[in-house]
Chain A
Amino acid sequence: MAKHIVKRILITIPVLLGIVLLIFFMLNVVPGDPVTVMMKEHLKEDVVENLRKSMHLDDPFFLRYLRYVLDMLRGDLGMSWKLNRPVTKVIAQAFPYTCRLAVAAALFSWIMGIPVGVLSAVKKNSLIDHLSMGVSLFGVSMPVFWVALILQNTFKNVLPVSGVSGWRSYILPTVVLGWSSAGRIARLTRSNLLEVLRNDYIRTARSKGLPPFTVITRHALKNALIPVITVMAIQISSLLSGAVITESVFAIPGVGSLAVSAINNRDMPLLQGTVIFTAVLIIAGNLVADVLYSIIDPRIRVE
């Protein structure tokens, strides 16, 4: 088991380097000169030249990549061109907002999604089932910005709809962000549970005289939730990397908003930093999912 985890962690290293290379390459073929970004157009040629040199902008691509990776390993993602502060600091400042929103949205989606999925599976083809699956399909397929705008309009007199001023500011963004995840989790829970309920060991459990509730919770749910839990781990990692649309619409100064402003300002180090931050989180999420999976499922644990 420990060996399995160590192996999984080691595998992520080349993956991460590859991702950084890819991001670095893509962002460096995009036009946009940082010096003009920082100084606008009022600069003398020799000053520009010096700046370019001090920022190593004219070095070969590979050298710059190598330097970036080495800095990254020391926890340095460069300076934001626009804000003139270390990218790591900027991200660290935005992350708590994203984190609160992500955790709230994840909890919302689990608390809504899992019970609804279980109920739908148990009452398969009933009105409750059709209703909740309809609503969750709606949740999965509605564009986020559209739901956000509708909620903002509906609740603008009761709840804060922009910026962060206390926990109530998180309510609407949480619902917007958690809604589609809840739908996905409900549908996944339902289909997995229905699948599991067809297994022989469910019949065995019933043949022991266990009541239906125990059969569902003890025998079916644990098996049915194994795939759901992996999805949840990956989901929370993608939520943590910042919900670009939701954060923008509700003006929450998180990592998602940061990425948007980095794009608008052509602030390459910041954009690079947020994208790499996202990638690391997603890789970590997959890793956690994998480890969780092996903890929950004894068949994997022993190998």
Chain B
Amino acid sequence: MENILSIKDLVVSFASDGRKDRAVAVNGLSLDIPRGGTVGLVGESGCGKSVTSLSVMGLLAENGRVDAGEARFAGQDLLKLPDRELRKLRGNRISMIFQEPMTSLNPVLTVGRQLTEAIRQHSDMDKAAAKARAIELLEHVGIPEAATRFGNYPHQLSGGMRQRVMIGMAMAMTPDLLIADEPTTALDVSIEAQILRLMKDLQRRHGTSILMITHNLGVVAELCDEVYVMYAGEVVERADVFTLFRDCAHPYTRGLMASLPRMTPKGQRLYNIRGTVPNLRAMPAGCRFAPRCELASERCHAEKPGLIDLGGGHLCRCFLRGEAANHE
């Protein structure tokens, strides 16, 4: 299938004050998003999911830099595009929703203003037409009394409502690709379900491809066709969603699965992967997950595993490969 976005060997690093060496946050990541598909990018906090998506959008913080790689979108490499050209795509062909609905909208501009400016930036609609379109968008994302809400300020809306506004804004130009960076993490579970349903619905209606960034495998199961599991700036496993939930291969993915609430029998304590994500400046020499892995051998600590195809596009970065699944 044709890919709407194809990231190859992306390397992103950050400078920090008073240090010569740069901290590498994303280390050679490759990821494909098929047209019309929904791809999940999963991993614990701090493993480089946001940095990956921001690099693609050209929205990295000032101290961040793409050191290598490419991101092909509609025949163009987004990473090499001048800002002028990239701006024509942002909010138009590619949009993004962020994690924090409480802080992602400008507090001193009305919701309507923030919607219409996105519309008018990429079309030649006049004020009235843009307003009509914005109200229509608000209705589409399920905001009651859209015409009134148009004149509201963000603080007058609940978190869920604000995230709906963000989604409406992102869908304003019916983009080809929607990058959603943990869009429901800050929301209640019931609101989360509503937002996910809304995204699914919009995708069905417009055929938008989605990159769904989350640390929640439940969200992946709900929404995604394919999943990339990321750990410490690298992809450690890639599979279609059925394969992943049926027999995931990487010990890290297994750890994530085990920490899913609904997979735990009643009364049993929730599983937690021991330890924490390694420091960017002190990466293990061998497998980056080895220090936390219950199955790690000497080889895992000394040598770095590559990404191996287990068949059918199921990729895994582990010496133990599928064997890990049979232990425990």
Contacts and interface: CB of A to CB of B under 8 A. Distances in A.
A297 B88 CA distance: 31
Given A298-B108, A299-B155, A207 B95 contact: yes
A218 interface: yes
Interface in A277-303: 296-299, 302
Contacts of B122: 209
Given A200-B98, A302-B156, A206 B106 contact: no
B169 A208 contact: yes
B233 interface: no
Contact of B107 (A205, A207, A214, A299): A299
Interface residues of B, number: 28
A205 B59 contact: no
B70 to A, nearest CB: 21
A191 to B, nearest CB: 16
Interface in A177-225: 199-201, 203-211, 214, 218-219, 222-223
B89 A209 contact: yes
Interface string B83-113: 0000111111001101010011111110000
B103 A199 contact: yes
B121 A297 contact: no
A224 to B, nearest CB: 10
B59 A203 contact: yes
A223 B169 contact: no
A297 to B, nearest CB: 6
B222 to A, nearest CB: 24
Contacts of A210: 87, 91, 117, 121
Contacts, number: 74
B90 A298 contact: no
Contacts of A206: 59, 90
A210 B89 CA distance: 11
B117 A207 contact: no
Given A207-B90, A208-B121, A201 B57 contact: no
B117 A204 contact: no
B87 A211 contact: yes
B108 A297 contact: yes
A208 B153 contact: no
A46 to B, nearest CB: 71
Nearest to B179: A207
Nearest to B107: A299
B215 to A, nearest CB: 18
B118 interface: yes
A209 B108 contact: no
B166 interface: yes
B153 A298 contact: yes
Nearest to A199: B103
B90 A208 contact: yes
Identify the 7 closest CB pairs spanning chains A and B, nearest first: A208-B91, A209-B90, A209-B91, A200-B103, A201-B106, A298-B153, A208-B118
29 contacts: A200-B98, A200-B100, A200-B103, A200-B104, A201-B104, A201-B105, A201-B106, A203-B59, A203-B98, A204-B105, A204-B166, A206-B59, A207-B90, A208-B90, A208-B95, A208-B117, A208-B118, A208-B169, A209-B87, A209-B88, A209-B122, A210-B87, A210-B91, A218-B117, A222-B108, A223-B108, A297-B108, A299-B107, A302-B156
Interface of B: 57, 59, 87-92, 95-96, 98, 100, 103-109, 117-118, 121-122, 153, 155-156, 166, 169
Given A204-B104, A207-B96, A298-B155, 20 more contacts: A199-B103, A200-B98, A200-B100, A200-B104, A203-B104, A204-B166, A205-B106, A207-B95, A208-B90, A209-B87, A209-B92, A209-B118, A209-B121, A210-B121, A219-B106, A222-B108, A223-B106, A297-B108, A298-B107, A298-B153
